[in-house]
Amino acid sequence: MEIKRIITGNLEENCYILVNNKDALVIDPGDDFHLIKEELRNLNLIGILITHYHFDHVGALSNLLEYKKVPIYDYNLEEKKYNIKNFEFEIIKTKGHKEDSVTFYFKNEQIMFTGDFIFKGTIGRTDLDGGNMKEMQESIEKIKRYNKEIILYPGHGELTTIEEEINNNYFFT
């Protein structure tokens, strides 16, 4: 699986495009639809994954759905495994930054897309509408049980690992 990152909008949100055999999933189409569309030019978009519904993560969602009607995978679904053509992932509800926050775990690749739940060296804000520090702590404890070598792809900034966060992130102590 190939992972492409497009940094979108004024808040420099990470939109990811996952590619497997010309099929593509888009994670958090934050803004700059023209950049996302260009990356999808020779691909078959088969789904959109939304980690949470803050404007900087879904700003291009309506344009993307006008471009191609595909299913959306988000907090409305159960915590379980999903198979979409060549992609297999699990939805993990990771409340705290927002009540609708989810993490997408691709077990075979040992990667997670965390949205604004976890960033390198810190966590997402819990003081915004829908945020809750107690739920954030519960979500952190849930994620700490996974393989420490899993690579985390956050909604902003650079990637990290669960192990790196356990060793260096104040909120993981």
What distance in Å separates the CA atoms of residue 145 and residue 148, rounded to the nearest whole number?
8
Residues 19-44 pLDDT 10s: 999 999 999 999 999 999 999 999 99
* Domain total in the chain: 1
Tokens of 140: 């952190």
Domain that holds residue 32: 2-172
Torsion sign over Cα 167, 127, 90, 119: negative
So what's the pLDDT on residue 115?
98
pLDDT at position 173, please?
A: 87
CA pair distance 27, 14, nearest whole angstrom = 9
List, for residues 46-105, the tens digit of each pLDDT value: 999 999 999 999 999 999 999 999 999 999 999 999 999 999 999 999 999 999 999 999
The domain that contains 37 carries what CATH number? 3.60.15.10
* Percent of the chain's residues with pLDDT above 90: 99
- Residue 66: left (phi > 0), alpha (psi -120 to 50), or beta? alpha
Using one digit for the tens of pLDDT, what is the confidence trace for 133-161?
A: 999 999 999 999 999 999 999 999 999 99
Contact partners, residue 62, CB within 8 Å, separation at least 6 = none
Q: Which residues contact 160 (CB under 8 A, 6 or more apart)?
A: 118, 119, 120, 121, 151, 152, 154
